[in-house]
Amino acid sequence: MSRTTSLPKRIKIHFMFFPAILSDSTTVLEFQFSCSIPAPLHSENDYFGVCSEPVIKDNVVVVYEVLEEMLDNGFPLATESNILKELIKPPTILRTVVNTITGSTNVGDQLPTGQLSVVPWRRTGVKYTNNEAYFDVIEEIDAIIDKSGSTITAEIQGVIDACVKLTGMPDLTLSFMNPRLLDDVSFHPCVRFKRWESERILSFIPPDGNFRLLSYHVSAQNLVAIPVYVKHNISFRDSSSLGRFEITVGPKQTMGKTIEGVTVTSQMPKGVLNMNLTPSQGTHTFDPVTKMLSWDVGKINPQKLPSLKGTMSLQAGASKPDENPTINLQFKIQQLAISGLKVNRLDMYGEKYKPFKGIKYMTKAGKFQVRT
């Protein structure tokens, strides 16, 4: 990060290439910062929706203005998108038209109230006609399953993302049925840490709009249920130039929920020339150049398990490949947090109205790998 101010030309589509003076400055800080820069620029409801070269060209002035607020002399300052939006208003078609007519600008000429207050993440004077607070509990399960189907490691990365549109200065508390699950958590700065330490209740004045309330990590093996299994039979026969390939996917511990959006991908060894496979459902492709097999399965019907069978043609004369392909799985389960985390209740203090509340759960595969 430098004192150079003509930053916009250094933006490459999604990623920031900072003219970084990496002398002795804090590396993590830089990485973390460069990860958080694009966030306000392209996340939904923030400045541009997507952050691409044309978009940056279109909004070069706004990008510059935002960046200028974000760092000074190489020190990161404000990265909260709420604050930034108050300082520099996001461009909308309406505002552009108005600006052209009236000659006003995107730059707020008032100092944002939140920036220096005790709750820097929330602006004052928020007003909504419909007051609503939605929380999404999203869990990603990372796992490595060995050849025989037993779990080598499994861990859950969970987040609670919130969309809070409430008038005034609401003070929320969120409690869980089983807070003991959460022993490794990172909070949004708004969460009162002391209260969590003593009562295991999340108490906070929320920022306005979208934010990540909390992220957590469940790694104790016995707490991590594995929702799917893969049966596989892959054999490269030594002499013949044909190998056999067969995989079946089925549900395991899903607590009665359907597994959707299943995709299976696998990097086949170099010796595999082509594959001749038939899926019982969904579609599959094999790219003979990259040797990437991918099978879009869709939903798993527990009565009729999806399978993919067939033969592989191998390089004639070559010896059996040294390595075994690893199977990578993607899937989604709606209305389930696989760790079993459940929100007990959400209460609001400090304001009189009754808000709409909603909690949604979802489980996804993160890096879910099955070794063969």
Partner 1 sequence: MTDSKYFTTTKKGEIFELKAELNSDKKEKKKEAVKKVIASMTVGKDVSALFPDVVNCMQTDNLELKKLVYLYLMNYAKSQPDMAIMAVNTFVKDCEDPNPLIRALAVRTMGCIRVDKITEYLCEPLRKCLKDEDPYVRKTAAVCVAKLHDINAQLVEDQGFLDTLKDLISDSNPMVVANAVAALSEIAESHPSSNLLDLNPQSINKLLTALNECTEWGQIFILDCLANYTPKDDREAQSICERVTPRLSHANSAVVLSAVKVLMKFMEMLSKDLDYYGTLLKKLAPPLVTLLSAEPELQYVALRNINLIVQKRPEILKHEMKVFFVKYNDPIYVKLEKLDIMIRLASQANIAQVLAELKEYATEVDVDFVRKAVRAIGRCAIKVEQSAERCVSTLLDLIQTKVNYVVQEAIVVIKDIFRKYPNKYESVIATLCENLDSLDEPEARAAMIWIVGEYAERIDNADELLESFLEGFHDESTQVQLQLLTAIVKLFLKKPTETQELVQQVLSLATQDSDNPDLRDRGYIYWRLLSTDPVAAKEVVLAEKPLISEETDLIEPTLLDELICYIGTLASVYHKPPMSGPPLATSSVQMGAVDLLGGGLDSLIGGTNFVAPPTAAVPANLGAPIGSGLNDLFDLTSGVGTLSGSYVAPKAVWLPAMKAKGLEISGTFTRQVGSISMDLQLTNKALQVMTDFAIQFNRNSFGLAPAAPLQVHAPLSPNQTVEISLPLSTVGSVMKMEPLNNLQVAVKNNIDVFYFSTLYPLHILFVEDGKMDRQMFLATWKDIPNENEAQFQIRDCPLNAEAASSKLQSSNIFTVAKRNVEGQDMLYQSLKLTNGIWVLAELRIQPGNPSCTLSLKCRAPEVSQHVYQAYETILKN
Binder of partner 1 out of 78, 160, 333, 337 (CB under 8 A): 78
Q: Binding residues for partner 1, how many (CB under 8 A)?
A: 81
* Helix, strand or coil, per DSSP, at residue 105: coil
Q: Which contiguous run of DSSP H or E holds residue 119?
A: none
Which of 324, 338, 345, 310 lies closest to 140 in space, CA to CA?
A: 338
Binder of partner 1 out of 14, 17, 49, 146 (CB under 8 A): 146
Check residue 68 for interaction with partner 1 (CB under 8 A). yes
Check residue 23 for interaction with partner 1 (CB under 8 A). yes
Binder of partner 1 out of 12, 14, 57, 231 (CB under 8 A): 57
Residue 165, token pair as written in the block: 């549109």
Check residue 28 for interaction with partner 1 (CB under 8 A). yes
CA 191, 194, 199, 201: dihedral to nearest 10 degrees? 0
Q: What are phi and psi of 95, to 5 degrees?
A: -65, -40
Check residue 200 for interaction with partner 1 (CB under 8 A). no
Question: Which CB sits closer to partner 1, 147 or 244?
Answer: 147
Binder of partner 1 out of 183, 199, 260, 347 (CB under 8 A): 183
Whole-number Å distance between alpha carbons of 168 and 176: 25
Binder of partner 1 out of 38, 43, 76, 340 (CB under 8 A): 76
Residues 242-281 that bind partner 1 (CB under 8 A): 267, 269
Say if CB 331 and CB 364 are below 8 A apart.
yes
Check residue 152 for interaction with partner 1 (CB under 8 A). yes
Whole-number Å distance between alpha carbons of 208 and 290: 46
Which of the ranges 94-102, 168-176, 224-232, 345-353 carries the binding residues for partner 1, by CB under 8 A?
94-102
Check residue 27 for interaction with partner 1 (CB under 8 A). yes
Q: What is the chain's alpha carbon radius of gyration, rounded to the nearest angstrom?
A: 26
Check residue 131 for interaction with partner 1 (CB under 8 A). no
Which of 174, 175, 260, 183 lies closest to 223 in space, CA to CA?
A: 183
Question: Which CB sits closer to partner 1, 65 or 208?
Answer: 65
Q: Which contiguous run of DSSP H or E holds residue 16?
A: strand 15-16
Residues 279-318 that bind partner 1 (CB under 8 A): none
Cβ neighbours of residue 270 under 8 Å, at least 6 residues apart? 291, 321
Check residue 339 for interaction with partner 1 (CB under 8 A). no
Strand intervals (E) in 205-282: 209-218, 228-235, 242-251, 259-267, 272-279
Whole-number Å distance between alpha carbons of 148 and 232: 10
Task: Please give the single-letter amino acid code of residue 109.
Answer: D
Check residue 75 for interaction with partner 1 (CB under 8 A). yes
Binder of partner 1 out of 42, 134, 144, 364 (CB under 8 A): 144
Check residue 35 for interaction with partner 1 (CB under 8 A). yes
Check residue 207 for interaction with partner 1 (CB under 8 A). no
CB of 59 to partner 1, least distance (A): 6
Which of 338, 316, 336, 326 lies closest to 367 in space, CA to CA?
A: 326
Binder of partner 1 out of 73, 239, 240, 278 (CB under 8 A): 73
CB of 10 to partner 1, least distance (A): 10
Binder of partner 1 out of 16, 59, 126, 172 (CB under 8 A): 59
Check residue 344 for interaction with partner 1 (CB under 8 A). no
Binder of partner 1 out of 13, 124, 177, 184 (CB under 8 A): 184
Say if CB 225 and CB 154 are below 8 A apart.
no
